[in-house]
Amino acid sequence: MKKKTCVLAEEDDLRVDLTFHSVPARLLSEFAEKIARTYYDGNVNKAIQDLLCKAIAEQDFVLSHITHIRSTKT
């Protein structure tokens, strides 16, 4: 499967409002208390941004590692 990448001009300046549906309030308040308050001075927005960036970086690492293993086996 080919990966399509769309690059937007001024991508860092693009802001999107994000709405979560069916997320338990308990989960959000636990995230705010244990993660945002502890590591981000209560900034839930920054905590979620960082979480998303780290998840993408980890996914890229895993995919590159799997691709590397597959290419060395053949």
> How does the average pLDDT of the chain come out, rounded?
84
Residue with tokens 């690492």: 61
Question: Is the distance from CB of 31 to CB of 20 less than 8 angstroms?
Answer: no
Residue 9 tokens, joined = 């001009």
Label residue 14 by pLDDT band (50, 70, 90): confident
Tell me the pLDDT tens digit for each residue of 18-32: 898 999 999 999 999
H helices within the chain, ranges in order? 25-31, 37-39, 44-73
Domain range annotation of the chain: 24-73
Quick check: 64 pLDDT over 70?
yes
Of the two residues 63 and 27, the one the predictor is more confident about is: 27
Q: Which residues contact 44 (CB under 8 A, 6 or more apart)?
A: 31, 32, 36
Give the per-residue pLDDT at 37: 97
Task: Quote the CA–CA distance of 31 and 27 in Å, as a whole number.
Answer: 6
pTM score over 0.85:
no
